[in-house]
Chain A
Amino acid sequence: MIQLEIKDLTFTYQKGQKPVFERLNFAVEPQTWSLLVTPSGKGKSTLFKLLSGLYPQYGGHISSGGVFLDGYALSDVVSFERAKRISLLFQDPSRRFNMKNLSEQLTFLLENLQLPPEKIKARKQQVLRELGLEDLRARPFNQMSGGQKQQAALACALASDSEIILLDEPFANVDHDSKKRLLLLLKHIKETTTKTVIIADHDPTGYFELLDFCYEFSAQNDRLIKVPKQKYVTRETFPTITPKSLNHGDLQWHNLKLTRQAHTLLKPNTFTLPKGQIGLLSGANGAGKTTFFYALCQLYPLTAGKITFNGQKPPRFRKSRWAKYVSLMFQDATDQFICATVGEEIALAAKNTLAPKYWDKSRITTALEQLGLSELTGRSIYHLSGGQQKRLQLLVVLIMAQPVLLLDEPFASLDQAMVKKALALLTASCQALNTSILVISHQRNNITTKMDYELRLDNQQLVFLGGQHENVSP
């Protein structure tokens, strides 16, 4: 049994700054499954990186105490010895693959852990079979969807067979059915092995059966204390949306067909995005939701059909004009930013906004406060937490206020309180500015109540859920 402990740890990103953790004490309780609950931006991912030995090797500074593995300072342990015992699933797995495909990535990992070659093949097959990922084994990572990459990263985290597993938002981009399947697998692992697992997730639904308890920070922030799981975790639900009658709108696609290589992604489909309403675009991982958004932004070629705004076709080679009508909030937050700091990003958006009357100075200041960003204006965007980046990204897109907003996983990495605030901002500006909004989100809790309709991309068909609507023809 491995003992992993944090003793009296004070950790800062840069010397002289306010510490992220001050005199923190925490002993991971062996052979338990727990959920780490912290508000967004309070150092959840930092804690995981400390527990897996990536910090201070890759940044930050420990000014007192440290992290200890069986009594040894974790920073003195060679990384392959650490990885044999502790595995980590990163919050943003999409940029974490150094090899071309999952099969090669697993080989790389198992070779690092010095597993004998004859065992590597068997272990790889076992993991791929258990996770149901055989189809993805040879697919290049750059052809996988965000959710598929997340499942591939989970495969890597489980393949090392380490005793302690840290999962940082393992299902943020994973569709409902895959999440259910993977949770069942995790449950099986729990029943048949003696592993220690800590999960961090802002969407705690679905974990109830899996967990023993939750960890949260004590009032003084100097300890992680155990609390009963009932405090945070609810059983999995699947709220549906009762569609409202749709308004008319400006953005329309007509017989739109999309293909990727020889495969059809979307069969010919016609729809008009209603103004002043928010729609949810759902569908399994890899169904092509993000690609569909890219197509609406002219970042992906149409196989057939056309997209029009107010009856006008997008002018060829003029993406710059089209981007004044249709804006995309990228799945990966850092894709959105073009300035160095939070303050510069907000200032640029405020300068170029298409709705300067609505987004005046006082409204922007209030929104910054609501999203908990007002104290971060001097911070570099690369030094924000995943959740802070998402909030900034959302705010910037809202301030720009194009008539059509396509939001790809805007609520990933946000805690439930923040999801509500973000949604309030979204609905308010949607109604005030009569915006057409379409949202991809795998998280449904707390979100569906604010949605006016749902489109589901399934079997290459885009279907309007909850009744026949004249607006859609499959």
Chain B
Amino acid sequence: MKMFRLNASILVLIMFGLGLQIAFSHSFLANLVVCCFCLGYLLLSAADLKKLGLVLLFTLPLALGTWWSFIKFSTQDPWQNALLYTSRLYAYLLLGASLLLSYSLEKILFSLSYRLKLSTTFVYGFLAAANLLSSLKKQLQVIRYSAYSRGTKYHFYRPGIYLRLVVTALSWSEALAQAMTAQGFSEGYPRTRVFSDSLPKWQWGLLFLSLIGYLALVIWT
């Protein structure tokens, strides 16, 4: 079966567009519809269901906490508020999951850069930082051992170790910037692009429809 996937840029726009509306709306039903649509999309797009399950499981205590605090402490309409805020939490969660579980960080950034003119300096800088993050954990171990073998200790609560980590990260970023320049990366100049990004016109329509549809639902309920 061919996977059904919306374009990453469209997903980002839907996420922001709906996200903004959800923040101001008071419609439980509208949030529920968003959740259902997102779940449907995640199933269709063959996202990693195990990851989705884990995400839902981890947020369960948060959702219960939200629910419980409204039931217990809300001065008016406790059930209404509990439903609204819990559904809002899941609507946000599933909107985010629809984007992040169907595309890698690179693909999202490349698509945004191509479709929505996000600056390539930001895209490649962000990617470089993301790639560095995995090295930083190892670096922390290295820093602690090098301190031990010099007769000093870095405890996790001592600021010294974080300062050292920051200094390391700064020197890495300088080295990386030099390397990117040496490899011909030039800010504000055209580059060619291997990445292909298909965006059928109807997906723009879908974006428009989803935003209007949500608004209509909110007004109607």
Interface range on chain A: under 10, 10 to 19, 20 to 34, or 35 or more? 35 or more
Q: CB distance B182 to A90 under 8 Å?
A: yes
Q: Choose the segment among B63-71, B94-102, B141-149 that binds chain A (4+ C-beta atoms closer than 8 Å).
A: B141-149
B189 within 8 A of A: yes
Q: Which residues of A contact B128 (CB under 8 A)?
A: 98-99
Q: Choose the segment among B8-16, B38-46, B79-87, B167-175 that binds chain A (4+ C-beta atoms closer than 8 Å).
A: B167-175
Which of A78, A99, A121 is in CB contact (< 8 Å) with B131? A99
Name B121-168 residues within 8 Å CB distance of A.
Answer: 124, 127-128, 131, 134-135, 138-139, 141-153, 164, 168
Given A100-B131, A115-B192, A142-B138: A319 and B144 interface contact (C-beta under 8 Å): yes
Given A54-B182, A99-B127, A142-B135: A338 and B146 interface contact (C-beta under 8 Å): yes
Which of B152, B181, B191 is in CB contact (< 8 Å) with A352? B152
Q: Which residues of A contact B76 (CB under 8 A)?
A: none
Q: CB distance A58 to B178 under 8 Å?
A: yes
Q: CB distance A95 to B172 under 8 Å?
A: yes
Q: CB distance A328 to B176 under 8 Å?
A: no
Q: CB distance A400 to B184 under 8 Å?
A: no
Interface range on chain B: under 10, 10 to 19, 20 to 34, or 35 or more? 35 or more
Q: CB distance B145 to A323 under 8 Å?
A: yes
Q: CB distance A98 to B149 under 8 Å?
A: no
Q: CB distance B190 to A108 under 8 Å?
A: no
B103 nearest CB across to chain A (Å): 15
Residue of B nearest to A319 (CB): B148
Residue of A nearest to B134 (CB): A142
Q: CB distance B184 to A336 under 8 Å?
A: no
Residue of A nearest to B142 (CB): A335
- In the assembled complex, the Cα of A54 lies from the Cα of B182 at a distance in Å of 7
Given A98-B128, A116-B192, A117-B194: A299 and B142 interface contact (C-beta under 8 Å): yes
Name B168-212 residues within 8 Å CB distance of A.
Answer: 168, 171-172, 174-186, 189-194
B90 nearest CB across to chain A (Å): 32
Which of B175, B183, B191 is in CB contact (< 8 Å) with A114? B191
Which of B179, B180, B194 is in CB contact (< 8 Å) with A120? B194
Residue of B nearest to A86 (CB): B182
A151 nearest CB across to chain B (Å): 16
- In the assembled complex, the Cα of A79 lies from the Cα of B179 at a distance in Å of 11
A96 within 8 A of B: yes
Q: Which of A84, A99, A121, A400 has the most CB of B within 10 A?
A: A99
Give B residues with C-beta under 8 Å from A.
106, 124, 127-128, 131, 134-135, 138-139, 141-153, 164, 168, 171-172, 174-186, 189-194
A54-B178, A100-B127, A142-B138 are known contacts; what are 10 more A-B pairs with Cβ within 8 Å? A79-B186, A80-B191, A99-B128, A108-B183, A109-B184, A117-B193, A160-B184, A335-B143, A338-B143, A400-B150
Give A residues with C-beta under 8 Å from B.
49, 52-54, 57-58, 78-80, 82-84, 87-88, 90, 92, 95-100, 104, 107-117, 120-121, 140-142, 156, 160, 297, 299, 319-320, 322-324, 326-328, 330, 334-338, 348-349, 351-352, 382, 396-397, 400, 402
